[in-house]
């Protein structure tokens, strides 16, 4: 049966906005959107006057095994595999209810994100589409080493990449620099070398998979870009030369603006390790300016939060979009970054990421238009995943009469 939602504002995800129009779905698929949908006859027609429809959102960087507590590394260290699996599910449900229908999980101990993905795909439980990296690959003692795979040298990293792909990873996560949360490492310091990362990139490409690099310092970012990494995570210290290199290579930036924001906001809470607070405070302003420079220069950007890091809780994807807007990105481009550009960076844009005929019926109904008020991303009325309504507010939409 065809379901048609009419009289809505529609953001397609590829930069277009249509007003007073329709979207029609049949089963798990979009049958039509825009003028073609306006003309379609449908078994059920719902009046969406005043509502805005956007594609299902992608959070391109999160950690389902972390809850956003002050010291998430300690939380991971104390978890059993079973408890971690339960965390993955609870946090994924929070994401889904907020309108995030696809997540890229970049680092889970024991590769639990891959098993969790499989449980959703098999129909065992409901959740967002999960694209997982399993355990990240780091140098010995590198950023995140307590819950990652340590490897050194081109041969060592290549073997680790192959083992991670064998486990079923959708994306290979590599640590190109130090980071904020790991004690004793400098966010600006390079870690895995260009050649080490290139070995992993080659293996991912052979398997038809993508790659992501945690890369905060300038030298490490350049190493990752030259190695052929698909996405740069964080990109805190970007200069003009590095930005030009990213544009030349078509590298996508996932800025995770919310991660340092929440650490700085809660610096006095006492729950965050002192070393992490100091590093986040030192990085905060330069991170914001790096994002602005990358945006102005035309770097491809996909939205990701790093949810699970201190006070950066699951289900608050809207904060990342609000920060992107505050730092200069317009609403249409924000929606593209959180939908089509994300799907393209994952090589799944042929089936998801935009509201087009034949694509999966993953979409979100908002109560307001975010171009009118950026806080509209928080006003989620309904979330559809594969044509099924998986979340709806108490104020349900009624079938149109006549």
The pLDDT score that the predictor gives to residue 183 is 86
- Is the same domain home to 263 and 147? yes
In this predicted structure, the answer to whether residue 75 has a pLDDT above a threshold of 90 is yes
Nearest to 262 by CA among 324, 309, 215, 317: 309
Domain assignment present for 73 = yes
Residue indicated by tokens 């544009």? 247
The domain in which residue 380 lies consists of 2-55+354-392
Q: Kindly report the three-state secondary structure assignment for every residue of 325-365.
A: HHCCCCHHHHHHHCCHHHHHHCCCCCCCCCCCCCCECCEEE
Lowest mean pLDDT across 57-61, 90-94, 165-169, 395-399: 395-399
Question: Average of pLDDT values for 215-240?
Answer: 98
- Is the same domain home to 24 and 145? no
Domain assignment present for 402 = no
- Is the same domain home to 29 and 68? no
153, 376 Cβ separation under 8 angstroms:
no
When the pLDDT of each residue in the chain is averaged and rounded to a whole number, the result is 96
Type and span of the H or E element at 199: helix 194-206
- Is the same domain home to 102 and 192? yes
Question: Average of pLDDT values for 168-181?
Answer: 96
pLDDT digits (tens, 9 = 90+) for 275-297: 999 999 999 999 999 999 999 99
Question: Average of pLDDT values for 380-385?
Answer: 97
- Is the same domain home to 50 and 62? no
The pLDDT score that the predictor gives to residue 400 is 65
pLDDT digits (tens, 9 = 90+) for 300-342: 999 999 999 999 999 999 999 999 999 999 999 999 999 999 9
Domain assignment present for 33 = yes
The pLDDT score that the predictor gives to residue 398 is 67
Nearest to 64 by CA among 263, 315, 323: 315
- Is the same domain home to 21 and 63? no
The pLDDT score that the predictor gives to residue 402 is 45
The pLDDT score that the predictor gives to residue 184 is 86
Quote the percentage of the chain above a pLDDT of 70: 99
Q: Do you know the residue count of the chain?
A: 402
- Label residue 114 by pLDDT band (50, 70, 90): very high
């Amino acid at each position: 049966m065809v379901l048609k939602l009419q009289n809505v504002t529609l953001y397609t995800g590829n930069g277009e906005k249509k007003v007073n129009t329709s979207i029609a779905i049949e089963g798990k698929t979009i049958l039509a959107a825009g003028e073609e949908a306006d003309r379609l006859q449908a078994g059920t027609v719902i009046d969406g006057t005043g509502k805005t429809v956007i594609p299902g959102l992608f959070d391109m960087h999160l950690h389902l095994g972390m809850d956003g507590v002050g010291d998430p590394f300690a939380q991971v260290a104390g978890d059993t595999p079973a408890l971690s699996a339960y965390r993955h599910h609870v946090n994924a449900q929070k994401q889904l209810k907020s309108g995030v229908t696809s997540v890229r999980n970049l680092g889970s101990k024991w590769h639990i994100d891959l098993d969790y993905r499989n449980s959703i795909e098999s129909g065992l439980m409901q959740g967002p589409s999960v694209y997982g990296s399993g355990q990240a690959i780091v140098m010995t003692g590198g950023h995140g080493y307590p819950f990652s795979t340590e490897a050194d040298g081109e041969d060592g990293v290549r073997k680790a990449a192959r083992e991670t792909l064998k486990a079923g990873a959708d994306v290979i996560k590599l640590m190109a620099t130090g980071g904020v949360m790991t004690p004793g490492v400098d966010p600006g310091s390079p870690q895995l070398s260009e050649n080490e990362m290139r070995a992993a990139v080659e293996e991912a490409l052979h398997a038809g998979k993508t790659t992501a690099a945690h890369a905060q310092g300038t030298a490490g970012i350049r190493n990752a870009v030259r190695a052929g990494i698909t996405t740069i995570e964080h990109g805190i210290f970007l200069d003009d030369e590095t930005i030009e290199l990213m544009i030349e290579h078509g590298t996508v930036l996932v800025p995770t603006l919310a991660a340092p924001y929440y650490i700085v906001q809660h610096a006095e809470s006492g729950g965050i390790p002192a070393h992490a607070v100091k590093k986040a405070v030192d990085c905060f302003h330069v991170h914001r300016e790096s994002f602005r420079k990358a945006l102005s220069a035309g770097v491809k950007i996909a939205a990701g939060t790093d949810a699970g890091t201190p006070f950066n809780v699951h289900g608050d994807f809207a904060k990342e979009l609000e920060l992107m807007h505050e730092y200069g990105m317009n609403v249409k481009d924000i929606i593209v970054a959180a939908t089509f550009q994300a799907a393209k960076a994952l090589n799944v844009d042929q089936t998801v990421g935009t509201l087009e005929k034949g694509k999966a019926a993953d979409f979100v109904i908002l109560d307001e238009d975010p171009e009118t008020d950026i806080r509209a991303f928080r006003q989620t009325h309904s979330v559809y995943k594969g044509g099924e309504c998986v979340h709806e507010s108490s104020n349900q939409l009624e079938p149109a009469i006549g």
